[in-house]
Structure 1
């Protein structure tokens, strides 16, 4: 059942760009309702749906509940990144940055984490660190000038 549920959730998200926001929200909430009340995956998907439609204040408690319920797998690092972004949108960027500095885990999302960390740091009034974090993420992909970009990023972090 779980595999089928995950496939149905993935199907909604993979077609979200072709659907109205209301349709995406309704479809994900309907799927989340199939899960037990404290099911971490269902809570995460519910949070993601509210976040997707710009209802961050409603999303935040579901992200926290999902994490508290023991969210695991690839949803956990996504929840941390998405919660940090939600906190930023709610005017609590410093809290979001702290969250992204803590355990996020999935190195496959390292660049995504770096991007959202840079955004939260910028909104938290730390522009030098924001640019440095973005540069360090970019430097990993530079075949040339990696050393120089890393040096300048480190210099920004020391300010």
Structure 2
């Protein structure tokens, strides 16, 4: 199969997933994965479609495969780290979720979704203080709510230590 055929089939599979036809997308992606087992982008899209279908355990090896490749586009890498971390969390593999999501936050520190999912995984590992800190800092820095913004400094201050009083 030529790279042009690969590109066309991959685009078609992504379109099918986006159009709400994930089973058809999965069939095409599995065929592409068999043809291009080392292709990071194909592995990422295959992982994603498995997640969409609720087949989280089947998604994991594809996420892991695509993240081994340094050639994966930054936006896809961000999505793969979020997807894998979230998938580990859904599967009850909380330590792996935290590890993966921490790596994602380290690589993409301004990504609020990664920080949000990290806070959920931290909650699951009984790291409540850090989970709350992350969420409060995210709320203070991203909320457009005027009342939140009027207390932004206090929220950021308490995010560091919720046990502290002024």
TMscore range, shorter length: 0.7 to 0.9
Could you tell me which runs of 5 or more consecutive residues in structure 2 were left unpaired when the two chains were aligned.
144-148
Aligned to 1:25: 23
Describe the SS at the equivalent of 2:142.
coil
> Which TM-score applies when normalising by structure 2?
0.77
Aligned to 2:152: 146
Could you tell me which runs of 5 or more consecutive residues in structure 1 were left unpaired when the two chains were aligned.
17-22
The one of 2, 5, 14 equivalent to 2:18 is 14
Aligned-residue Cα RMSD (Å) equals 2.5
> Which TM-score applies when normalising by structure 1?
0.81
Aligned to 1:95: 96
Aligned to 1:129: 130
Describe the SS at the equivalent of 1:74.
helix
**Which structure would you say has the larger Rg?**
2
Q: Does 1:54 align with 2:54?
A: yes
Describe the SS at the equivalent of 2:74.
coil
Deviation at residue 32 of structure 1 after TM alignment: 5.2
Distance 1:79 1:150 in 2: 30
- Size of the aligned set, in residue pairs, is 151
